[in-house]
Structure 1
Amino acid sequence: LPHQDNLITTLPAKLINGGVAGLVGVTCVFPIDLAKTRLQNQQGIQVYKGMLDCLAKTVRSEGAAVNLTLVTPEKAIKLAANDVFRQKLSKDAVIINLIPSLVLAGCGAGTCQVVVTTPMEMLKIQLQDAGRLGELFTGCCSGAGSIAGGPPPPARSAPPQRPSATGITVELLKTRGLAGLYRGAGATLMRDVPFSMIYFPLFANLNALGRDSADGQAAVQAQAPFWQSFVAGCSAGSVAAVAVTPLDVIKTRLQTLQKGEGEDTYRGIIDCTRRIMTREGPSAFLKGATCRALVIAPLFGIAQGVYFLGVGETVLGLLG
């Protein structure tokens, strides 16, 4: 990553790079992220048969505005924090590309981003899952989508109302205070820290492939071609995404406020893990894994591309 390895790059430039990367990336992958949330929240009644079926039944992209608005600071913090931590671990103005240093920097980045990630995920999940609950109600009323071998669940008197980001925020602040927006913070931290600890070291090593030389330091400082940074970001992102999918399923379930008929509510991470294992089996922890890989891979490929192009540095140069 050329700009990561250059200590002259300023923090504002890093924040701009991360923000632009998140904004562009999430615009491209939002529909798949929407499918991921709905698939992970399916417990008994199977409204969707898979990712393609979910996308086919989805007409509107609920939660897009929240995701587009809050992913900008979230990605800015994540990518910039990783840079800062790597620089703090540097020696003689050269960032050490050793695995322990990269893992530690990734851990710091994952911890910092939770400040923005948790409320973003809280709002996004409610808005994205509203469509699934609507489909669930429709299925119950028509007698479709019942659990195999059993009678259809009783229909509700009225379909669930579609929430708004403002409505959810106001209600949570009114009833639970600021802590309401940070429901599931522990689960978010449990997912994001391991993700960053896997992603950043893996990306750094993939990005350095083919640049080995007698002088290891020169190989680290050499600039990889654009396509290599993009592919390294996609590859590292997909591996890290699949690796932490079980933690993402737990986080999604804990942060979902409105449940369908017969769906479990959970008292915490341990209770959620136990109930999912007991009622749905181990395979439930991989729900949405394909969607998650398809979301994260291009998202981080684009992020590394933005860093490669030096968008932040260019913007600051024009303003200066």
Structure 2
Amino acid sequence: SCVFPIDLAKTRLQNQQNGSRLYTSMSDCLIKTIRSEGYFGMYRGSAVNLTLVTPEKAIKLAANDFFRQYLSKDGQKLTLVKEMLAGCGAGTCQVIVTTPMEMLKIQLQDAGRIDHSNTAKRLEIMVNNNLTQDAQRKLMPETVVPGTVPTKSPTAMQLTRELLKEKGIAGLYKGLGATLLRDVPFSIIYFPLFANLNDLGKRGAEGPAPFYVSFLAGCLAGSTAAVAVNPVDVIKTRIQSMNRGSTEETYSGVTDCISKIMKNEGPSAFLKGAYCRALVIAPLFGIAQVVYFFGVGEYILSFLPGN
């Protein structure tokens, strides 16, 4: 919840192409979003995120612990390769929840940008062609007030029903390959880095590291891994976006997306939204690791009968 507006800015920055640049930076994106869509416009898609990010993180953290224990012999410290294998397993398991969550969230987050892009294009056509009032009404059937979004965005439930009706369960898993290409390397980098940074904070003492060490280790490991896999996150975001501006490219898969981005926008496009993603992931994983290591879940469950 704390970092969701930054995640929205990341999605919109990654999705805009050279011919339809509406935002120049994260702050510019957030300011324009507030002006045109109101304060709550920054939280488009947050309901999906709040619903699914909890099981996603639970699967990721628990799976990593499971694989680390499985690969450990007699409680001995894992080698770096085994730590990376455990992270690989965690990243693979989480995409069951991550893919549909990201699929729905991206449509909702990017809806405002698409509306603005299409509105701007129609206004440009009207001005350039000196259209009559009748022609203007056909091109722009709704009254457009500068700085507003004329169309109402669909809800997550509407999108889910539409995808299930048209494409079945596979519709919710569009971009599964790209999600795997992002989340598996992310976990391979993140979990070993976090474990080693967290161990450094113990200062030779037995037991868990202080909570602030876990928080800082989660922040640093998360931001490092986020920036490292950002090019794949750009590809995943583009592939999972169902709606496009009238002048924007569409993509049939990972290879097609890479080639078109390289051809039309250059290598720098793969770094779009990198600092936003780092700002999102750092506190997200810092907070998640602290709560996880505090054993909040175990404490709550201890009050249930039979525990």
| TM-score, length-scaled by structure 2 | 0.87
Q: Distance in 2 between matches of 1:179 and 1:134?
A: 26
CA distance in 1, matches of 2:157, 2:202: 50
Given that 2:99 and 2:179 are in contact with CA atoms closer than 8 Å, whether structure 1 keeps it comes out as yes
Q: How far is the alpha carbon of 1:162 from its aligned partner?
A: 1.0
Within 5 Å, which residues of 2 pair with 1:241-320?
A: 241-319=226-304, 320=307
Task: Report if aligned partners of 1:245, 1:289 keep a CA contact under 8 Å in 2.
Answer: yes
Q: Is contact 1:87-1:95 (8 Å) kept?
A: no
Structure-1 separation of matches of 2:20 and 2:250: 16
For residue 263 of structure 1, give the secondary structure of its aligned residue in structure 2: coil
How many angstroms does 1:49 deviate by?
1.2
Alpha-carbon distance in structure 2 between the residues aligned to 1:194 and 1:259:
28
Q: Deviations over 1:203-238 (max 9, x none)?
A: 01111115465xxxxx6x632111111000000000
Q: Which residue of 2 aligns with 1:57?
A: 32
Which consecutive unaligned segments of at least 5 residues does structure 2 have? 130-135, 142-149
Q: Tell me which residue corresponds to 2:4.
A: 30
SS at match of 1:91: coil
SS in 2 for 1:195: helix
Q: Which letter maps to 1:255? A: Q
**Alpha-carbon offset, residue 83 of structure 1:** 0.7
Secondary structure of the 1:166 match is helix
Q: How many residues matched? A: 281
Do 1:199 and 1:240's aligned partners in 2 also have CA atoms closer than 8 Å?
yes
Q: What is the one-letter code of the residue matched to 2:26?
A: M
1:84 matched residue in structure 2: 66
Q: Where do residues 208-227 of structure 1 align in structure 2 (5 Å cutoff)?
A: 208-211=199-202, 222-227=207-212
Which residue identity is paired with 1:208?
D
Instruction: Name the residue aligned to 1:98.
Output: 79
| Contact 2:201/2:210, CA 8 A, preserved across alignment | no
CA contact (8 A) 2:201 2:213 kept: no
Counterpart amino acid of 1:54? C
In structure 1, what is the equivalent of residue 51 of structure 2? 69
Query: Counterparts in 2 of 1:142-221, with a 5 A limit?
Result: 142-143=123-124, 157=140, 161-211=152-202
User: Displacement of 1:161 after TM fit?
Assistant: 4.3
Q: Please provide the CA RMSD for this pair.
A: 2.1
Extract unaligned runs of 5+ from structure 1.
1-26, 145-149, 214-218
Quick one: distance in 2 between partners of 1:251 and 1:210?
Answer: 35
Task: Name the SS of the counterpart of 2:234 in structure 1.
Answer: helix
The whole-number CA distance in structure 2 between the counterparts of 1:138 and 1:261 is 10
Q: Deviations over 1:124-174 (max 9, x none)?
A: 000000011122234334449xxxxx99xxx95455541211111111111
CA distance in 2, matches of 1:211, 1:160: 54
Equivalent residues of 1:89, 1:95 under 8 A apart: no
Match of 2:116 in 1: 135
> Could you tell me how far apart the structure 2 residues matched to 1:62 and 1:95 are?
46
Determine which structure has greater relative contact order: mean sequence separation of CA pairs < 8 Å that are 6+ residues apart, divided by chain length.
Answer: 1
2:233 aligned with 1:238: no
CA displacement at 1:71 relative to structure 2: 0.7
Structure 2 distance, partners of 1:264, 1:131, is: 18
* Aligned match of 1:20: none
Q: Which moved more, 1:105-114 or 1:221-230?
A: 221-230
Describe the SS at the equivalent of 2:61: helix
Contact preservation (8 Å) 2:122, 2:140: no
State the percentage of identical aligned residues. 66
**C-alpha distance in structure 2 between counterparts of 1:100 and 1:237, whole Å:** 19
| C-alpha distance in 2 between matches for 1:314 and 1:95 | 27
**1:124 paired residue number:** 105
The verdict on how the C-alpha distance between 1:234 and 1:210 changes in structure 2, with shifts beyond 3 A counting, is closer
Secondary structure, in 3 states, of the residue corresponding to 1:132?
Answer: helix
The separation in 2 between residues aligned to 1:248 and 1:224, in whole angstroms, is 32
Alignment pair present for 1:40 and 2:40: no
Shift of 1:308: 2.4
Aligned letter for 1:308?
A: F
* Cα distance in 2 for residues equivalent to 1:117 and 1:297: 18
Q: Distance in 1 between matches of 2:230 and 2:275?
A: 9
